[in-house]
Structure 1
Amino acid sequence: MKIFGIFLIFLGAVIVLSLLGILEMSVGRFFAWVFAIVFAYTGLSALFKRGFPYGLVSLVLSVILVTVGLGYYSLGFWETIAIIVGVGLIELGLFALGFGRRPWVRWIAGGPFFGGGARKTIEESPDGIKRLNVTVEGENVILRVKSCANKLYRVVYTGNPHVYFDRQEDTGNLVMKLEGIPFISKSEVDLSLNESVEISFDVSMDVSSIKMDLEKLKISSLFLEGDVTDLKIRLPRYNSTVVIGSDVSNIELEIPNDVGVRAVVTDSVGWKEMKGFENREGVYYTKNWDTANFKVDLKIESDVSRIKIRIK
């Protein structure tokens, strides 16, 4: 959402300056600046998140487009598009040859174009596990989470997620790395977790949609960060801490009737609806907080366009 805001500011400034005659901007140079910002953002994001050499091609392309935008080179609209397509093909070819092993190239190789589009399943039996640490990272993903009774976890997916599991005595560690194809297709993942195991859940997702039905799960902690379009959570019937640090367009939370919630909500919220809460010195409490069977500490620390919390 932040990059979209920066883009809107840039677009508005270019239009105003062009109309005032202060800035001479052709269509080709305008799109050069637009794509320079996009590639600079994606390149830096990939470089910092995944390390070298990710993002380098995007950054080089951004520099080239900046020189076009400044007028050092004269390229028309279609020439600019041709450069973007050409460099994109070079990047795709390099990763397909194994340089960096970009996840979405593997997704194409195992995706619907090559017969790998069917939904697949990975699962594990509990086998004495009493506690499970779950880490989920991804981009361009639709993630759905629910409970199950007879498996420690079950992952049903499209694409090629990376799922790692190990255990130390009675504690299991599940790590999932997910990625769809940017601007083309989101990978869909259904994750089911065991109802009898205490779970610590960390989620870091960008440009994704998340829906979690946690009511029957023993979630001791849930931490979310990243840039999420839609976030829908039914809170657990368990003493838990939930921290939402993601920039989210839309948050919808459901609270079971016998769960009390204490909520600290950032001021960076465009619109909020919190029926059944009372404000005690800046902290929101459900009316049943003092007598609830289960209590959830909720912290929303991010920029949010809309929050709707209801007891149901």
Structure 2
Amino acid sequence: MSESTASVVLNRTRSGTRVSAETRRHVLEAAERLGYRPNALARSLQKGSTQRIGVYSGRAHLDSRNLFFADLLGGICEGAREHEFNTVIHTSGNGPSMLLDLLSNRALDGLVVHARQDDPILGMLDELRVPAVAIADQVSAIPTICVDDDGGGRMQAQHLAQLGHRNVLYKQTLFTARSAVNRMESFLRTATELGMNVTIHNETTGDDSLSSEDFDLLNRTTDRVTAIVGCNDRVAEVCCHGLSAVGMSIPKDVAVVGFDGFNRFYAPRFELTTIRAPWSQLGARAISTLMSLIAGECVPGVTILPIEFVRGATT
């Protein structure tokens, strides 16, 4: 039996009285025989805290194979562990009403939100006044922890311009978050200032592969596209596979740049030039900020974590 369990048993047995070692031993032995465990709800009412943090995603499901979510949730869980809190993950697949039940019944002490500005959960939080922090994508209603998306887009454009690229294809994913739009807009703005021509192709199928229109740009006799920017590393890697499949050399024929810079446990086929974003650190920072809110402290409206340029073999 854990020390915390023993304390609860003893407190209920001899509240306000000094307990002898012999009595303590008998109580522990009896509790062990009976399989006693403290009631979590009763303890939360006594402490005024559930020791649980909710994590809400506006997506219908979270794919554990997605390195972005793996890093982000890993940081959140580690941050919660350091504060001795558990995490409860909720997606929009179950509907906001289920999360509303959790929040209205005070089954959660606070919430980390990864959602769009128009997600219905944000209006619910405002009514319930539940401490909440947004991550990755800025929302106006609650404090946000994000990375320097503007700086990332600027770094991508500056790097390609320094290498002499003048015609660039920007590949945007089908499920476009506000943070990805910010990166794209920053890239486009900087590239234009540096005299580069940018073609933006928004995916419509969801597989992020190179289309016939993409290859038309890559095979032009004049004004040929010589570089591709992926809105994230996954899109950039898919482009690398597509280029390699048709015999195009990277970076001799086409340079490729991504955004994420995950620390992997394996060597990827393509060592991307990318912008490294501290997604795990972002999750942990969201928890520490949420703890400050729960404690009634003031926190910044927006916290932006720095990113890092990583030169790989694809440029």
Q: TM class, shorter-chain normalised?
A: under 0.3
The one of the two structures with greater contact order (alpha-carbon pairs below 8 A, sep at least 6) is 2
TM-score, with structure 2 as normaliser? 0.26
